[in-house]
Amino acid sequence: MKQVQDGLVLFLAVTGLLATGASAAVHTWDGGGADNNWSSADNWDAAGIPASASNTTVRMAGNTRLAPVQDIAAPFILNRLDYVRFASGTANDTVLSPDGDPLRFVPDGATPPRLWLDRWADCNLNNDIEIPQGVTLLAEIGTWGLNLRGLISGEGGIDKQQQAGALRLYHADNTFSGGLIVRAANSAWYHVSVNASGAMGTGPVSLYGGAIATNVANAGGLILNGTATHTNTIRLFAHSPIHGHGTVTLSGPVDLGAYTLHLRGNGTTTASGAIAGSGAQALIKSDAGRWIL
């Protein structure tokens, strides 16, 4: 029996499903060490070096050592990564750009994993990201933006919450298959910007709103940039825009449901897949760009 128990403990530790007590809590990066490494204790607050565990929260703060290197585990397992406001008053923050070995985001019991930002700066996450099967990574970007530049893989998905900050996807070889959810207000900001073919992964893209009013600067919603082809199925769950900037092809099917897709942007966007819906008005064309259906 002891061998079975030992084997179970080892399995849970390896997969990140075993909480490690007090060492797996909130760990704040202050950059007080002599290098940029996560493994250097002086770079952290009194909580010390974070453990790779399902209930670990890493908070990026401070104004020094702005390119922290994750060198603890490959992958490092955590529940939450925060980018924290540091400057005061109306001053902008400095940009934080973590790098290093991959990060695997997992639930902490019933608490889903999160990317969270309230820092007044467009920050980066250069690490590769793993999202396991059945897991949805929530992106709570309250202001400015977060650029995901590493490879995103796994059978889980990403849910951009309805907050004014921007989530930007850059990697052309993203393979996460659990889908991308875009929640946006009929307002400025609230962006999900896609900057390469394949950046939305291989799963469906679900649209829950965005700026359909044409008098809004920095209009929000799903924004497709550059010269790119996207094969994802797109599904509407509210009246929603797609902003096409550059030369963009959408080759997957578009399921409108009972909603209206607003064709927006200043580029040339080709939708070559089937478009189907049951609403009173399927499509509305706005802006100066060209849409080819």
pLDDT band at 21, cuts 50/70/90? very low
Q: What is the mean pLDDT of residues 264-280?
A: 97
Size (the chain), residues: 293
Contact 165, 138 (CB under 8 A): no
Q: Name every residue whose Cβ is closer than 8 Å to that of residue 24 and which is 6 or more positions away in sequence.
A: 50, 51, 53, 54, 55, 56
- At residue 243 the predicted structure's pLDDT band, cuts being 50, 70 and 90, is very high
* Cβ within 8 Å of residue 253, ≥6 positions away: 233, 234, 273, 274, 275, 276
| Contact assessment for residue 179 and residue 203, using Cβ atoms and an 8 Å cutoff | yes
Q: Would you say residue 19 has pLDDT above 70? A: no
Residue 248 banded pLDDT, cuts 50, 70, 90:
very high
pLDDT, the chain, mean: 93
Q: Is the pLDDT of residue 219 over 60?
A: yes
Which residue, 135, 159, 145, is CA-closest to 79?
A: 135
Q: Can you give the pTM of this predicted structure?
A: 0.91
SS3 15: helix
- pLDDT tens string 173-214: 999 999 999 999 999 999 999 999 999 999 999 999 999 999
Q: Does 16 score more than 90 pLDDT?
A: no
Work out the average pLDDT over 81-95: 96
| pLDDT > 60? residue 80 | yes
Stretch (H or E) spanning 225: none
pLDDT at position 8 is 40
How sure is the predictor about 20, in pLDDT bands with cuts at 50, 70 and 90? very low
